[in-house]
Amino acid sequence: MNSPTTDNPVNESLRRRVAKLLVVRASGHLSDQQRRYPQWELPKSELQRLLRDGVGGVILLGGSAVELQQRTQQLQSWSEQRLLFCADVEEGVGQRFEGASWLVPPLALGRLHQREPELAVTLTERYGRCTGEQARRCGLNWVLGPVCDVNNNPVNPVINVRAWGEDPNSASALAVAFLEGLKQAGVLGCAKHFPGHGDTTRDSHLYLPVLPHSRERLEQIELPPFRAAIAAGVDSVMTAHLVLPELDPQQPATLSKAVLTDLLRRQMGFNGLVVTDALVMEAISARHGAAEAAVLAFEAGADLILMPANADAAIDGLCDGFSSGRLPLARLDESVQRRAHALASIPTSTPSGPIVSAAEQALETELVRHSITVSGAAVQPNAGINLVRVDALLPSAAVLSGWSPALRLPEAQGFRSIVLHGEGLSPWSGQPEAPLALDRLGDGAVMLQLFLRGNPFRAGRDAQEPWAAAIQQLIALNRLAGVVIYGSPYLWDSLQPVLPSDCPAAYSAGQMQEAQHQVLTALFPTASPACNSSAFTD
């Protein structure tokens, strides 16, 4: 869709001011052919036009950290104004851009906070500073974190390990510590997903969740981390695509004046930027077109429109709203001023030097060390099977490659690797009591490694896989060499009761190669018999 032309300078001025409030999606790669999600990531020609016409922000994903440095410079060169550059780097810049630090999931520190609160707070502040400083070196100026959702629902398919805590105290303390680190680094932060996405069982990327809690319950569980973040001076708050019938039975929070204006602005006193979660998510896009979604969000109290399904339609819809009087121009002035104030509060320069410092590399190692658990005996070298289950949506190059410890270390002990993902070999027999089709996998003891965590877009499908029954099947056949869980603490908690006390077993909150290395060097190579049924019966 081409940008509309007009001879009316008043309309053109309005259009450019409205465009400032949009944040569009782009790949971190320089080439259009490298786009990982072309249905969402605009091509170069569209980006150039939109930025030239006044669009004020870009959210990036994919590529290397070095490439991101070049990409942000390229994008800025296409605009006459200073741009907002953001990314969902909740677990460090390396979570999205190779070559930077990929840190353990926040929930690892939330659980550490239950045992050693002072250590957890100190590490979280360093975590935030590491994330912020690497973001700045890559050209980003806005970190879309911390997640302030309280993950008090273990089957939450979309928040899960992204949360800083499973209770309001931990989530609040660590969100504030993370924000302090970002502030030291000189980048903007964002508390999300208001008013709380931690107790949902549906993924708002795919569905519209409902949170049927009273205001009193929200004050006890969901709202405290956001109140703490606001008190700590958080720059922005991101909305949640979910319905809270007790506050607004008609509209999701992103489109609700009762939630964004009455609760967040007036009652909680937040004066910074309110940004929508991505409007392309099915919870919104399945119900509203791009123009109406943008208008409803702005009408509700949002300042910034993140990832509209169609940027031109969103701008047109907002301009029509202001021209018709449906939206007051005073609100546009407020939002533009909030954006300018946020950008003025942070440095304009991009720091020089390596993307990852020695201190930051040491932090990666230290965080992993505090978020792993190893139990039982060591794994015995064996000409068996290294069965690795990896989520197909994970960035596989970062998790598994030819040199990944999860493959290399077991193979050095004689195991043959089989990697299971969303496509290819199915390990399942269809039998509830013996779910693994062992005839397809081969002979020998099985070293089981599961890379599973709560992941958006999966709709909780991984939680339905019968790993407890599979472990019991291997135990009964004297074929279980060991078990490692990477990611979900809830899966680890659920499997521990079926593991014999002497079975080599480990849990790591992180899935990155440093986590694999620390876990597997602890399990190998001391000889140990395979777990057997006699060890299990008690």
DSSP-derived secondary structure for 308-339: -S-HHHHHHHHHHHHHHTSS-HHHHHHHHHHH
Has domain 371-536 been given CATH number 3.40.50.10870? yes
Does position 232 have pLDDT exceeding 90, yes or no? yes
pLDDT at position 507: 98
Computed over every residue of the chain, the mean pLDDT equals: 91
Question: Does the active-site annotation cover 205?
Answer: yes
Identify the CA nearest to 227 among candidates 261, 264, 198, 256: 264
Note the pLDDT tens digit of each residue in 269-310: 999 999 999 999 988 999 999 999 999 999 999 999 999 999
Question: Does the active-site annotation cover 277?
Answer: yes
Mean pLDDT of 409-438: 89
Does position 526 have pLDDT exceeding 80, yes or no? no
Does position 82 have pLDDT exceeding 60, yes or no? yes
Identify the CA nearest to 415 among candidates 371, 440, 379, 453: 379
pLDDT at position 536: 30
CATH of domain 21-344: 3.20.20.300
User: Do the beta carbons of residue 417 and residue 454 sit within 8 Å?
Assistant: no
Q: How confident is the model at residue 400 (pLDDT cuts 50, 70, 90)?
A: confident
Note the pLDDT tens digit of each residue in 13-30: 999 999 999 999 999 999
Q: Is 139 left (phi over 0), alpha (psi -120 to 50) or beta?
A: left
Q: How far is CA 196 from CA 158, 211, 219, 471, 513, in A?
A: 12, 9, 11, 35, 32
Q: Is 403 left (phi over 0), alpha (psi -120 to 50) or beta?
A: alpha
| 278 token code pair | 């991505």
Task: Out of 29, 113, 205, 213, pick the active-site residue.
Answer: 205
pLDDT above 90 covers what percent of the chain? 80
> Measured at the alpha carbon of residue 249, what is the angle toward residues 246 and 252, in degrees to the nearest 5?
105
Task: Out of 199, 277, 303, 462, pick the active-site residue.
Answer: 277
Note the pLDDT tens digit of each residue in 306-329: 999 999 999 999 999 999 999 999
Instruction: Please tell me the distance from the alpha carbon of residue 1 to that of residue 312, in angstroms, as a whole number.
Output: 7
pTM confidence score: 0.93
Does position 394 have pLDDT exceeding 90, yes or no? no
Q: How confident is the model at residue 341 (pLDDT cuts 50, 70, 90)?
A: very high
Note the pLDDT tens digit of each residue in 148-175: 999 999 988 889 999 999 999 999 999 9
Does position 66 have pLDDT exceeding 70, yes or no? yes
> How many residues can be counted in the chain?
538
Count of Cβ atoms closer than 10 Å to residue 377 Cβ:
18
pLDDT at position 329: 97
The residue ranges of every structural domain in the chain are: 21-344, 371-536
- What strands lie across the sheet with 480-487, from one edge to the other? 372-375, 505-508, 480-487, 446-452, 385-390, 416-420
